[in-house]
């Protein structure tokens, strides 16, 4: 059965309102004792999500088209206004300044809403160049291409000093068929003007020939602090005010996509009470990196109880990710507190597995989300590169533990003349008996590490 699904059911079966602090306190109590009836602990977490339908239904492409959006209104016009992309901008400047000494085309690649298209236009402005834009269908239609391209390549701009050929969203060209790519390569070989190409994913196999012909420049996801600064600036210009926590939430959830953040900001600003804004997660699958960012960088709040709902992983795996990455964000006492909470979550995890007591998932989830988030005094604002947990090592360790269980069960089965399978099945009881009785431990000739395992 899917564990995460159960966790959602439990959250929904709370009867009264409960705060995260209360869940945390209760979980600490529960670590000490196993109450006979846990039902009294389960209360209702009241959800007041005021997500306007328009936000939920909006797809990213619809967002792009929204001409009155903050994203369009505040699209930078000059290179100076582009935030968080200094490295890429330097490379673009060098490319156009040296043209055509090295490569004749440059690919700006990276996630959506990071400023690729904006940069292409801004560099054109900076060098007083006219932009000649080609889209996917232009490239696919060979005749039309010849028609538009020839003059574009041969004629000087009448009004401007220079010209730049922009092929925006090249992945669109190649997604449907290969047609267009060979034309693009030909264009690169004959052009006398710099070609700037943008793409989300340049590592697709069918783009390898393009990768060879062009200089590649990565346009990175925008740091959430920078996103937050942009949001604050826009609020000032719009004479609006939105609670700082909501801004942090929007900035973090954007996952480096400034366009998405600006759209969320706009939606939040239209609400009667912007502090109730819940960033639109139904369209954007929050991945584990995002969830880790929210927990480890963000302020603890009730929404965190749902932070792992949109992560496509079982809670045990999320546990490993946290274990692996906490030390990248926390240090000193924060780290001690976080590890303490992690160990408490581990106790619940153990009880869930041993006793099949799925209701404990509430506590495990709360400890891993709100709990770990509240373990820090200050958050680390910079970019953190989270690592995949070293799962193999963990699996090995868990096998090692199982190996001890097996060897003890074997010894027990031999001594009391029962089957090995039965000893494994009854292991929890056997463990209890052996635990409190050193004489039996001797009789079974348990090794030191086996005793350690059994009394743990």
Ligand X SMILES: Nc1ncnc2c1ncn2[C@@H]1O[C@H](COP(=O)(O)OP(=O)(O)OP(=O)(O)O)[C@@H](O)[C@H]1O
Residues lying near ligand X in the complex (CB under 6 A) are found at 71-72, 74-76, 82-85, 112-118, 169, 198, 200, 222, 258-259, 262
Q: Which residues pair with 169 in a beta bridge?
A: none
From the list 269, 252, 246, the residue with the least C-alpha distance to 379 is 252
Find the shortest distance in angstroms from Cβ 390 to ligand X. 33
Render 108-133 in DSSP notation, one character per residue: EE-STTSSHHHHHHHHHHHTTEEEEE
- Sign of the Cα torsion 95, 101, 102, 107 reads positive
Helix (H) or strand (E) holding 217: strand 214-218
Which position's Cβ is nearest Mg ion? 117
Part in contact with Mg ion (CB under 5 A); list of ranges 109-117, 143-151, 170-178, 277-285: 109-117
Find the angle CA(239)-CA(243)-CA(245) to the nearest 5 degrees: 140
- For 368, which DSSP code? I
Find the shortest distance in angstroms from Cβ 20 to Mg ion. 39
Render 325-362 in DSSP notation, one character per residue: HHHHH--HHHHHHHHHHHHHHHHHHHHHHHH--GGGHH
Alpha helices in 33-141 (DSSP H): 53-57, 60-65, 70-73, 86-98, 116-126, 136-140
| Residue 207 vs 222, nearer CB to ligand X | 222
Burial of 152 (0-12, 13-18, 19+ CB in 10 A): buried
| Residue 21 vs 66, nearer CB to ligand X | 66
Find the shortest distance in angstroms from Cβ 240 to ligand X. 16
71 interface partner picked from Mg ion, ligand X, none, CB below 5 to 8 A per type: ligand X
259 interface partner picked from Mg ion, ligand X, none, CB below 5 to 8 A per type: ligand X
- Asked if 118 is part of the footprint of Mg ion (rule: CB under 5 A), the reply reads no
| Beta carbons within 10 angstroms of residue 251's beta carbon | 29
| Residue 87 vs 147, nearer CB to ligand X | 87
| Residue 75 vs 299, nearer CB to Mg ion | 75
| Residue 118 vs 369, nearer CB to ligand X | 118
179 interface partner picked from ligand X, Mg ion, none, CB below 5 to 8 A per type: none
55 interface partner picked from ligand X, Mg ion, none, CB below 5 to 8 A per type: none
114 interface partner picked from Mg ion, ligand X, none, CB below 5 to 8 A per type: ligand X
- For 408, which DSSP code? H
| Residue 18 vs 210, nearer CB to Mg ion | 210
| Residue 29 vs 87, nearer CB to ligand X | 87
118 interface partner picked from Mg ion, ligand X, none, CB below 5 to 8 A per type: ligand X
Contact 355, 12 (CB under 8 A): no
| Residue 222 vs 341, nearer CB to ligand X | 222
Find the shortest distance in angstroms from Cβ 275 to ligand X. 24
Residue 289: strand, helix, or coil? helix
Contacts of 189 (CB under 8 A, 6+ apart): 104, 213
242 interface partner picked from Mg ion, ligand X, none, CB below 5 to 8 A per type: none
82 interface partner picked from Mg ion, ligand X, none, CB below 5 to 8 A per type: ligand X
Which position's Cβ is nearest ligand X? 115
By CB under 5 A, name the one of 11, 27, 114, 117 that touches Mg ion.
Answer: 117
| Residue 31 vs 60, nearer CB to Mg ion | 60
Find the shortest distance in angstroms from Cβ 20 to ligand X. 33
Find the shortest distance in angstroms from Cβ 149 to Mg ion. 21
Q: How many Å apart are CA 373 and CA 322, to the nearest integer?
A: 11
Could you give phi then psi for residue 167, rounded to 5 degrees?
-110, 100
Enumerate binding residues for Mg ion (CB under 5 A).
Answer: 116-117
């Amino acid at each position: 059965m899917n564990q995460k699904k159960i966790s959602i059911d439990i959250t929904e079966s709370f009867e009264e309102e409960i705060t995260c602090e209360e869940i945390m306190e209760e979980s600490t109590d529960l670590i000490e004792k196993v109450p006979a009836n846990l039902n009294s602990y389960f209360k209702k977490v009241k959800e007041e999500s005021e997500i306007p339908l328009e936000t939920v239904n909006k797809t990213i492409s619809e967002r792009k088209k929204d001409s009155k959006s903050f994203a369009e209104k505040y699209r930078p016009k000059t290179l100076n206004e582009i935030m968080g992309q200094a490295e890429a901008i330097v490379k673009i400047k060098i490319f156009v300044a040296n043209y055509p000494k090295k490569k004749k085309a440059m690919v700006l690649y990276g996630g959506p809403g990071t400023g690729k298209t904006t940069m292409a236009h801004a560099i054109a402005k900076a060098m007083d160049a006219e932009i000649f834009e080609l889209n996917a269908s232009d490239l696919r239609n060979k005749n039309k291409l010849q028609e538009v391209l020839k003059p574009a390549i041969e004629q000087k701009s009448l009004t401007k000093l220079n010209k730049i050929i922009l092929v925006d969203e090249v992945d669109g060209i190649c997604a449907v068929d290969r047609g267009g790519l060979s034309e693009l390569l030909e264009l690169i070989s004959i052009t006398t003007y710099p070609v700037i190409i943008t793409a989300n994913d340049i590592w697709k196999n069918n783009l390898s020939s393009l990768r060879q012909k062009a200089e590649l420049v990565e346009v990175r996801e925008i740091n959430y602090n920078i996103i937050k600064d942009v949001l604050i600036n826009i609020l000032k210009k719009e004479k609006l005010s939105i609670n700082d926590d909501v801004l942090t939430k929007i900035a973090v959830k954007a996952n480096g996509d400034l366009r998405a953040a600006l759209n969320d900001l706009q939606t939040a600003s239209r609400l009667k009470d912007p502090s109730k804004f819940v960033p639109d997660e139904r369209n954007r699958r929050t991945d584990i990196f995002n969830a880790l960012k929210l927990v480890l960088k963000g302020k603890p709040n009730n929404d965190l109880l749902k932070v792992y709902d949109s992560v496509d992983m079982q809670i045990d795996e999320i546990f490993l990710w946290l274990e692996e990455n906490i030390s990248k964000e926390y240090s000193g006492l924060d780290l001690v507190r976080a590890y303490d909470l992690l160990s408490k979550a581990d106790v619940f995890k153990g009880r869930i597995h041993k006793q099949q007591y799925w209701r404990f998932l509430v506590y495990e989830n709360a400890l891993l989300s709100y709990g770990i988030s509240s373990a820090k005094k200050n958050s680390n604002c910079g970019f953190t590169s989270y690592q995949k947990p070293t799962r193999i090592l963990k699996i090995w360790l868990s096998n090692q533990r199982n190996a001890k269980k097996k060897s003890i069960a074997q010894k027990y089965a031999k001594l009391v003349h029962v089957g090995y399978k039965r000893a494994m099945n009854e292991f929890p009881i056997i463990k209890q008996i052996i635990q409190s009785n050193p004489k039996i431990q001797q009789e079974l000739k348990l090794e030191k590490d086996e005793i350690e395992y059994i009394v743990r």
